[in-house]
């Protein structure tokens, strides 16, 4: 993934060197990526320019920014102040230009039109021609905000990001954008529709065999003979949580067993259970168990 307005190329457009980026392989040949770009106040300002391509850029702001000069296809467009947690959409079918001076911290999600076509095909929906958000207008969307925030820890260590988690978030975000702003109809939630017992068993076995999360939703769906979208919904219906959350729960359960029944260090346990490092393991364990792994072990070994 190297040709779209994300990663190093997006950094060149806005004057940021090598911003952290995650390329989420939601589809084989459809680009979908998330880049975090940030800077402090620029005394001299910066003339940013993003060239045309067949894609969209959803910019989730992580801090408040005031209105600023902005042009689309060479024409000035009025902008409004953006509050942290809101996002704006850039339709890259047109060139975008802006004069950037104020501090910015932005999570920019790159969505190629091919990715929109693929998600529509997967849902059996008509082609999505556009995402209907006017330029320069901030949108307050709790789904975009929460999904974007969930990717921030992964952007700190992109090379260790959990594949199953990234793909799950990527598909959820892409589906939401397509439904909320691209006229893709929401599929009715079935009253039933969970996995058959053999499907649930096989899916769980496959996830456990890849405790590091290096397995895709497509692999899991193929294993039980379903489409990705159907599998993700059915798995949650059967277990109460999406696949990546079930995987996280199993990691914690395995870690608790090792904490009680082995002499491994917390760092070694973190590695064996698929966490990026000890600090990541400690943070997740404390969030889910409400106490750190070291204290949890000490209390149960007394």
pLDDT at 1: 44
Radius of gyration from C-alpha coordinates of the chain? 21
- Neighbouring C-beta atoms of residue 103, cutoff 10 Å: 13
Residue 186 has phi, psi (to 5 degrees) of -70, 135
Q: Of all residues in the chain, what percent carry a pLDDT higher than 90?
A: 59
- What is the maximal distance between C-alpha atoms in the chain? 71
Per-residue pLDDT tens over the stretch 16-75: 988 999 988 777 677 889 999 999 888 888 899 999 999 999 999 999 999 999 999 999
pLDDT band at 2 (very low <50, low <70, confident <90, very high): low
pLDDT at 192: 56
Picking from 13, 168, 150, 195, the residue whose alpha carbon sits closest to that of residue 95 is: 13
What gap in Å lies between CA 117 and CA 216, rounded to an integer?
20
pLDDT at 239: 93
What gap in Å lies between CA 111 and CA 89, rounded to an integer?
11
pLDDT at 260 over 90: yes
Burial class of residue 243 in the structure, from the number of CB atoms within 10 Å of its CB (0-12 exposed, 13-18 middle, 19+ buried): buried
Q: Which domains occur in the chain, in start order?
A: 7-181 (2.60.120.10), 197-240 (1.10.10), 250-300 (1.10.10.60)
Q: Find where tokens 């975090």 sit.
A: 36
pLDDT band at 279 (very low <50, low <70, confident <90, very high): confident
- 124 in Cβ contact with 227 (< 8 Å): no
pLDDT at 259 over 70: yes
pLDDT at 276 over 80: no
pLDDT at 235: 93
pLDDT at 207 over 70: yes
pLDDT, average across residues 269-297:
90
What gap in Å lies between CA 255 and CA 107, rounded to an integer?
32
What gap in Å lies between CA 35 and CA 254, rounded to an integer?
33
Q: What is the mean pLDDT of the chain?
A: 89
**Torsion angle of C-alpha atoms 155, 283, 276, 295, degrees rounded to 10:** 170
Per-residue pLDDT tens over the stretch 209-242: 998 888 888 899 999 998 887 888 899 999 999 8
Per-residue pLDDT tens over the stretch 74-108: 999 999 999 999 999 999 999 999 998 899 999 99
What gap in Å lies between CA 110 and CA 57, rounded to an integer?
5
The token pair at 97 is: 């230009």
């Amino acid at each position: 993934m190297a040709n779209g307005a994300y990663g190093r190329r997006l950094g060149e457009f806005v004057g940021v060197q090598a911003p952290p980026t995650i390329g989420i392989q939601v589809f084989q040949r459809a680009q979908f990526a998330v880049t975090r770009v940030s800077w402090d106040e620029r005394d001299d300002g910066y003339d940013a320019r993003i060239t045309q391509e067949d894609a969209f850029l959803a910019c989730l702001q992580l801090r408040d920014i005031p209105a600023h000069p902005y042009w689309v296809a060479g024409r000035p467009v009025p902008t409004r102040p953006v509050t942290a947690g809101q996002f704006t959409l850039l339709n890259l079918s047109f060139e975008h230009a802006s004069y950037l001076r104020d501090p910015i911290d932005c999570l920019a999600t790159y969505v190629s039109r091919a990715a929109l076509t693929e998600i529509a095909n997967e849902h059996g929906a008509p082609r999505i021609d556009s995402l209907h958000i006017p330029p320069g207008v901030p949108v307050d969307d709790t789904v975009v905000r929460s999904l974007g925030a969930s990717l921030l820890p992964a952007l700190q260590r992109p090379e260790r990001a959990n594949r199953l988690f990234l793909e799950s978030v990527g598909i959820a975000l892409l589906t939401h954008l397509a439904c909320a702003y691209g006229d893709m109809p929401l599929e009715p939630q079935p009253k039933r529709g969970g996995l058959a017992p053999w499907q649930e068993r096989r899916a769980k076995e496959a996830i456990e065999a890849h405790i590091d999360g290096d397995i895709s939703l497509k692999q899991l769906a193929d294993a039980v003979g379903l489409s990705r979208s159907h599998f993700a919904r059915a798995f949650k219906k059967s277990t109460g949580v999406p696949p990546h959350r079930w995987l996280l729960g199993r990691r914690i359960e395995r870690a608790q067993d090792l904490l009680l029944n082995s002499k491994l260090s917390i760092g070694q346990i973190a590695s064996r259970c698929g966490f990026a490092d000890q600090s990541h393991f400690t943070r997740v364990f404390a969030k889910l168990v409400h106490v750190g792994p070291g204290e949890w072990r000490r209390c149960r070994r007394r």
